[in-house]
Structure 1
Amino acid sequence: MFTPVPTTPIGVLSDAWRACVGTGRLNLALRSDYRDSLERVQREIGFRHLRGHGLLSDDLGIHRPYEFEGVRRVRHAFGYLDQVVDSWLELGIRPFLELGFMPSGLASGEQTVFWWKGNVTPPADEEEWAALVVAVVRHLIDRHGIDEVRSWPIEVWNEPNLVHFWKDADQAAYFRLYERTARALKDLDASLQLGGPAISPGSDEWWAPFAEFVTSREVPIDFVSRHAYSSGPSQRVPFGVYQTLAEPQTLLDQFAAPRRHLAGTGLERLPVHITEFNTSYRPDNPVHDTAYNAAYLAPVLAGGGDLVDSFSYWTFCDVFEEENIPTSPFHGGFGLLGHRQLAKPTFHLYAFMARLGAEVLARGADHLVTRHPDGRLAVLAWQPVDGTSAGAERHTVRLALPVGGPAVYAHRHRVNEDDGNAWTAWQQLGRPHHPTARQLDLLHEASRPALEHGVLPAGGGVVELELHLARHEICLVELEGVRDETEPWIDDDRVPGYAGGWRA
């Protein structure tokens, strides 16, 4: 039974999936492997904004307090920041600024998070904090222009509802920080985009008091933000963890939560940004490296844009060091790309999304059918997974697609447990901790999606597309009409090796 696909679009495919992507701390952007990875991501996918931690942390060197003639003073140094932002803009990606963490010279305590010790305590001096964030944004305006910086969303802190990221998860202290920051930056320029509270999953009780606080005090706010993950408790092993996953719909439910909780408040019409999402919230969970991760996230990318204005995959590459420096090329890192720009299956999911058309002709639990302005069709199909079971060995998608002409050219890329899967090849190589140059070449070759192509006949303006998907497969099928320009003297049967070849 083939599912008929109508010729009339049912909607437009939102590009909220590519509005933003996450990154490791900003200092890492000074490294060549980071820049090489970002260049590939932008070339094959093309995100618009990039968000990460550590803008104000010590290793970017912005906040530099000193004493002169018995008076405390602060110098702001932007050399590293300029290198980071300039390199992003050169690759066509803009910052989504996260204001954090606290510089040690301004911190009220010594509590830190991550291997690189981001300070998570409130400022010892709120006026100095306000002067710092204003100085940063003013410098960026001076360097890049006010119109450019107005297009960069600015988020106040990261997950203040968690004691790991904000001392004692002190809600009142975060609200004060948000208000002081928002008022200071709006005084600098009223058109800057400010928002928060960037809360993690499981803390929806923050929405009502946050909405009450900012509306009752008329605190400026232009968007709201939160994070979404679907993993359960961690089972730790050396250099990694294992976790269960809830079903993919859980992520979409989390995307929808802010608007549900803010209905009837003064914030209900604000844009919603999911500034981090993934399956697992751990940077050492092997699921991130798998074809299963890609199949799991396919319906999320296909449908998430109907719920929010952006949802930012955490992260674009494995140049990332929150749990110390990784000890092997595949270690469960968040990245779409592993070290040495090794493409993971989820990278290919995003690259497939980048090749879809704008018009949506059909959606299903295992497919998304789109059309380009020139009439070409692009179909994304995947094996549905539920977050827990291993999944079937095969899954079939049957679609009756509207086309013009008697035949179409079909171009299919596929990724599954065997095809386009460097993680599987790495396992088969014995999981080398430090691959040789030869092994890296093999892994890159194994990471390429499989390709098949051919001509499909069409009858009555319809082509029947039958896709047999292997375990945990995602695939992209691009269909375009065939205009035969073969000259009348062409006869392939006369080519040696084809039906006997030409004979004198």
Structure 2
Amino acid sequence: MRGTVPERPVGRLTDAWRTCVGTGRFDLALRRDYQDSLALVQRDIGFRHIRGHGLLSDGVGVHRPYTYQGERRVRHTFTYVDQVVDAYLAVGIRPFVELGFMPSALASGDQTVFWWRGNVTPPESYTEWGDLVRATVAHLVDRYGLDEVRGWPVEVWNEPNLPAFWAGADQDAYHRLYEVSAHAVKDVDAALQVGGPALSPGADEWLKPFAEFVTDRDVPVDFVSRHAYTSGPARHLPFGTRQTLAPAAELLEQFAAPRRHLAGTALADHPVHITEFNSSYRPDNPIHDTAFHAAYLAPVLAGGGDLVDSFSYWTFSDVFEEEGVPTAPLHGGFGLLTHRQVKKPTYHLYAFMARLGDEVLARGPDHLVTRHPDGRVAVLAWAPVDVTGREPAPERHTLSLSVPIGPPGTTSAFLLRSSVSEDAGNAWAAWREMGSPHSPRPRQLDALREAAEPARTHRAVPVAAGRADVDLVLARHEVTLAELTAVVDETPPWWDDRLLDPPGDRE
């Protein structure tokens, strides 16, 4: 049955899906591979903000205590901060600032997280912590300008509900950290944005106490943040992880959770940012590298903006070392890109989203139809996936639409289709067919990059009464973008295609 796409828009597509993207720890941005990857992502997708851990950790070197004349003093040093932020701005992306982790010389304990040992204990001195936050934010304002930095949200810590990220998962201690941090940010300028509590999934019971705390103590808060993942417990293998997945609709349910839990509180109408989301929370789960993953996340990107102000994919690149240095180019990392800029299918899902229009003409469980201001129509379609494994995924999925296109009198449209699937735009499959080389040679890397490009086809589609019939047959786990442009025929009247026929073929 053919679906009829209405002429009039039914809504607008927000940019919540590309408001922010995640990154490995802050100082990894000093690396050439990282900067090359970010430039590529910005060219094809164009995220507005970038968020990651470690701004205040020892590797960035901001907090530098010393003793002079018998007195402890602190120098705040921004050598690496400036280099990283300058690199961000040069490619058109701005920080979504995360305050963390604790400098070891300020920490109250020695508990750390990750291979790079970020300290996750409260400060020994909250006064000194407040000074650190104030100095950091003031430096950003001084270097980049108040109007600019007012657009950079500042988030206090990361997943304090988990003992791995905040010693003892002490809620009262986090509230104190938030209070000191938020006031320090506002001391620099009252219009700067600050928020939290950056909760992991399954910790929504923290939201109401957080709202009550900031309300009772008149603590500033401009937004609420949470994370969303849908994977089950990890089954560890050497240099890898396997996990079950909940349906992708569970991600959308998690996106909606903060407003549900904050209803009736003073934060009920505050912006909600999902500052991390993905399927698996592990940086070594091969699901991230697959065509399945793009099809799994397609309905989330298509619909997430109706629920939250932003949702940040974790992360843009596999230049990421929480579990150590990756052992292979396709190792299940979070990134849209591998090391050496090999594009994963989910990269192309985001690149397809970047080519959609602002007007939403139709939505469905397997498609999103949009229109650009110049009249071009873009159809994002995906083959639905089943995470239960109870039913084999169909080898084909069909979508038929009648699409409005062109000004009156249009008789033809140009259809350009780009697709990724198990067989196209799938570097993971090519890498496995190569024998899963741990350190691909230059020619192998070139082959992987070529294999990672979407399949592209084009054809003319007849237009009658202002409509074109678009029939898409999608392979298993396929995500496709079909772009239609009304044709204005400028072929000279004397042209004859038969002139291209070889002489022996002419009548």
- TM-score (structure 2 length as normaliser): 0.98
Residue 291 of structure 2: aligned partner: 291
Structure 1 residues 193, 482: closer, same or farther in 2, change over 3 A? same
Deviations 1:37-61 (A, max 9, x none): 0000000000000000000000001
Residue 151 of structure 1: aligned partner: 151
Matched letter for residue 267 of structure 1: L
Deviation at 1:66, TM superposition (A): 1.0
Structure 1 residues 497, 246: closer, same or farther in 2, change over 3 A? farther
Matched letter for residue 402 of structure 2: A
Deviations 1:409-447 (A, max 9, x none): 100000000101111000000000000001001000000
1:493–1:499 Cα contact (<8 Å) kept: no
Residue 21 of structure 2: aligned partner: 21
Does residue 505 of structure 2 align to residue 497 of structure 1?
no
**Which secondary structure state, in structure 1, belongs to the residue aligned with residue 233 of structure 2?**
strand
**Which secondary structure state, in structure 2, belongs to the residue aligned with residue 59 of structure 1?**
coil
2:64–2:76 Cα contact (<8 Å) kept: yes
Alignment of 1:47-446 (within 5 A): 47-389=47-389, 391-404=393-406, 405-446=410-451
Deviations 1:129-179 (A, max 9, x none): 000011111111111111111110000000000000000000000000000
1:419–1:446 Cα contact (<8 Å) kept: yes
Residue 473 of structure 1: aligned partner: 478
Deviation at 1:70, TM superposition (A): 1.1
**Which secondary structure state, in structure 2, belongs to the residue aligned with residue 245 of structure 1?**
coil
- In the alignment, the residues of structure 2 paired with residue 308 and residue 183 of structure 1 have an alpha-carbon distance, to the nearest angstrom, of 26
1:248–1:386 Cα contact (<8 Å) kept: no
1:367–1:379 Cα contact (<8 Å) kept: yes
1:161–1:170 Cα contact (<8 Å) kept: yes
Deviations 1:67-118 (A, max 9, x none): 1111111111110110000000011000000000000000000000000000
Deviation at 1:498, TM superposition (A): 8.3
- In the alignment, the residues of structure 1 paired with residue 109 and residue 130 of structure 2 have an alpha-carbon distance, to the nearest angstrom, of 18
- In the alignment, the residues of structure 2 paired with residue 499 and residue 203 of structure 1 have an alpha-carbon distance, to the nearest angstrom, of 75
Choose which of 452, 458, 465 in structure 1 pairs with 2:457: 452
Residue 31 of structure 1: aligned partner: 31
**Which secondary structure state, in structure 1, belongs to the residue aligned with residue 305 of structure 2?**
helix
2:7–2:361 Cα contact (<8 Å) kept: yes
- In the alignment, the residues of structure 2 paired with residue 486 and residue 476 of structure 1 have an alpha-carbon distance, to the nearest angstrom, of 27
2:345–2:420 Cα contact (<8 Å) kept: yes
2:134–2:187 Cα contact (<8 Å) kept: no
1:422–1:443 Cα contact (<8 Å) kept: yes
- In the alignment, the residues of structure 2 paired with residue 148 and residue 402 of structure 1 have an alpha-carbon distance, to the nearest angstrom, of 41
Gaps of 5+ in 2: none
- In the alignment, the residues of structure 2 paired with residue 33 and residue 392 of structure 1 have an alpha-carbon distance, to the nearest angstrom, of 39
Deviations 1:193-235 (A, max 9, x none): 0000000000011011111100111110000000000000111
Matched letter for residue 492 of structure 1: D
List structure 1 segments (4+ residues) > 3 angstroms apart after TM superposition.
496-499
2:255–2:307 Cα contact (<8 Å) kept: yes
- In the alignment, the residues of structure 1 paired with residue 427 and residue 87 of structure 2 have an alpha-carbon distance, to the nearest angstrom, of 28
Matched letter for residue 219 of structure 2: V
**Which secondary structure state, in structure 2, belongs to the residue aligned with residue 440 of structure 1?**
helix
Matched letter for residue 167 of structure 1: A
Deviation at 1:458, TM superposition (A): 2.0
- In the alignment, the residues of structure 2 paired with residue 108 and residue 13 of structure 1 have an alpha-carbon distance, to the nearest angstrom, of 46
Deviation at 1:461, TM superposition (A): 2.1
2:315–2:335 Cα contact (<8 Å) kept: yes
Matched letter for residue 107 of structure 1: A
Residue 464 of structure 1: aligned partner: 469
Deviation at 1:492, TM superposition (A): 1.1
- In the alignment, the residues of structure 1 paired with residue 174 and residue 63 of structure 2 have an alpha-carbon distance, to the nearest angstrom, of 21
- In the alignment, the residues of structure 2 paired with residue 374 and residue 94 of structure 1 have an alpha-carbon distance, to the nearest angstrom, of 29
Deviation at 1:499, TM superposition (A): 8.4
- Could you say what the CA RMSD is over the residues aligned between the two structures, in angstroms? 1.0
Deviation at 1:338, TM superposition (A): 0.5
Number of matched pairs = 502
- In the alignment, the residues of structure 2 paired with residue 340 and residue 495 of structure 1 have an alpha-carbon distance, to the nearest angstrom, of 42
1:493–1:500 Cα contact (<8 Å) kept: no
2:155–2:196 Cα contact (<8 Å) kept: yes
**Which secondary structure state, in structure 1, belongs to the residue aligned with residue 505 of structure 2?**
coil
Deviations 1:427-485 (A, max 9, x none): 00000000000100100000000000000112222211110101100000000111111
Gaps of 5+ in 1: none
1:152–1:193 Cα contact (<8 Å) kept: yes
Structure 1 residues 39, 168: closer, same or farther in 2, change over 3 A? same
Deviation at 1:388, TM superposition (A): 3.0
- In the alignment, the residues of structure 2 paired with residue 165 and residue 101 of structure 1 have an alpha-carbon distance, to the nearest angstrom, of 9
- In the alignment, the residues of structure 1 paired with residue 14 and residue 405 of structure 2 have an alpha-carbon distance, to the nearest angstrom, of 23
Matched letter for residue 322 of structure 2: E
Deviation at 1:496, TM superposition (A): 3.4
1:368–1:380 Cα contact (<8 Å) kept: yes
Deviation at 1:386, TM superposition (A): 2.9
1:494–1:500 Cα contact (<8 Å) kept: no
1:492–1:498 Cα contact (<8 Å) kept: no
Percent of aligned pairs sharing the same letter: 67
**Which secondary structure state, in structure 2, belongs to the residue aligned with residue 387 of structure 1?**
coil
Matched letter for residue 428 of structure 1: E
- In the alignment, the residues of structure 2 paired with residue 453 and residue 176 of structure 1 have an alpha-carbon distance, to the nearest angstrom, of 59
**Which secondary structure state, in structure 2, belongs to the residue aligned with residue 391 of structure 1?**
coil
- In the alignment, the residues of structure 2 paired with residue 403 and residue 308 of structure 1 have an alpha-carbon distance, to the nearest angstrom, of 31
Deviation at 1:184, TM superposition (A): 1.7
- In the alignment, the residues of structure 2 paired with residue 499 and residue 222 of structure 1 have an alpha-carbon distance, to the nearest angstrom, of 75
Deviations 1:289-323 (A, max 9, x none): 00111000000000000000000000000000000
